[in-house]
Structures are given as structure tokens and as C-alpha cells.
Amino acid sequence: MKECFLSIIIPAYNEEERILPTLNSVCAYLSKQDYLSEVIVVDDGSVDNTLKKINEFSNSKDGVILLKNKINKGKGYSVKRGMLAANGRYIFFTDADLSTPIEEIDKCLPYLNAKGYDVVIGSRSIPGADIMVHQPWYREKMGKIFNFIIRLVLMGGLIDTQCGFKGFKRDVVKKVFDKCRITGFAFDVEALYLSRKFHFKIKEIPIRWRNSTLSKVSPVKHSLQMFKDLIVIRMNDLKGYY
């Protein structure tokens, strides 16, 4: 049986307005490739029509898999579940709004496939990035402050840890995500922290990106939770949980 080459994980919570355009774009891209692939959508206990739409779509398309959380568990929990269920040699996760066009995978795969890297992360903040629609100024500012604190408290060397577009080799996924504990939006930081801890090579790649006006991230509520999660990550390591 032919090996699955690429898995794409999409967490979704109350995404009835965006999920079908996203799935259509992802499947259209994959249909043009000459390798075997799969799309895993993890519904995080949606209370709108998201689950119904994903279910109908997955029933009509080969290679689209739906995983369902009975209740809302958080983005980190959903991404972890999808990543650990994936069969691909290379496994990417992306946001349900597809802020990063799926075609950006083309510039990421060579680093995993031939250039010796274990993890690739999309970056909106390094030379070569193309921000087609910016976030509001206060969200950009808060993002920069958050990343500065990450470099101060946890790890240096990475400019944009929060872009929702990242890819991993399969063996890296099994080792890193199996140990992830953060269920909220700071799960990216934990995954990268563990990748560094286990000495995996990370490549930051400039990507195209477009802000979605329907973003569910609360500048105050989620920022405070993410700051708390940074301390939790540090304490988990000190306690030997990793």
C-alpha cells in the first residue's frame, strides 16, 4: 500500500462560515499533487452548523477525515489529537480561516524532505514575508510583545511562534505532541519548546498571510491565558513532566 506523504490538520470551532471554502481550497491544492495525502478536521465541540458541514464534505471526498470532540476542549487539544492521528510522512496544521494560503506548503516541504530540518514554521515577521491584510495595530503590537517574552522566558532564536502554519516530520510529531499538555492557544509555544528540548532542527520560513476579521482570539482574555501558559510550560519542564 502506498505511504501517505502529507497530512494536513485543521482544528475547527464554530467555523460554519469559513470551513467549506477552506476545505475546498485545501482539497483543490492536494488534487494537483502526485503524492498520497489526507486532511484531518478536528471539530472542537462546535455548537453551530460546522460539524454538519464537515460531515457532509468528508462523506463526499476521499481522504478527508472528521474527528469529533464531544465538548469544547481547546485549540491545542484539537491540534494534538489530529497530529497524533495523522499517517503522513510530513504533518502540517493550519488554521480553519486559511490565513496562510495552503500553497505555502510548496516552499516548506523541501526543508523537511531534503534539507535536513525536522520542523518548519511559517513566519509573518522575517524578511520575505508578505502580509496581504494586517491585523489591527494593537494585535500586532501584543504579538510582538508576546514573542519577546517567549524569547526571554523560554527560548530564543524564533521570531514568530504564533503563526498557525507549522509542519513536522512524523517521528517528531510522535515524540513532541505526545508530551504536549497545553490545550489553549499557547500550544504552539509548547510544541516548539519541546522540539528545541529534544534537539530537533527548526526552520522559520517567510510566508504569505492575510488577517481574518472573524478571528476568535480575544486580545485581552486569550493574551492573559497565553502568558500564564508560558509559566506552566516552564514549570512543567522543571518538574520533569517533559
**Can you give the residue range of the structural domain that contains 14?**
6-238
Residue 161 located in a structural domain:
yes
Number of domains within the chain: 1
Residue 1 located in a structural domain:
no
Other CB atoms closer than 10 Å to residue 49's CB: what's the count? Answer: 14
Q: What is the model's pLDDT at position 136?
A: 66
Residue 83 located in a structural domain:
yes
Around 102, how many Cα atoms within 13 Å sit in the side-chain half-sphere?
A: 25
pLDDT digits (tens, 9 = 90+) for 229-240: 888 998 999 888
pLDDT category, 149, cuts 50, 70, 90?
A: confident
Residue 217 located in a structural domain:
yes
Residue 57 located in a structural domain:
yes
62: CATH: 3.90.550.10
- Average per-residue pLDDT in the chain? 90
Residue 109 located in a structural domain:
yes
Q: Tell me if 129 sits within 8 A of 123, measured CB to CB.
A: yes
pLDDT digits (tens, 9 = 90+) for 22-47: 999 999 999 999 999 999 999 999 99
Residue 218 located in a structural domain:
yes
Burial class of residue 184 (count of CB atoms within 10 Å of its CB; 0-12, 13-18, 19+): middle
Residue 71 located in a structural domain:
yes
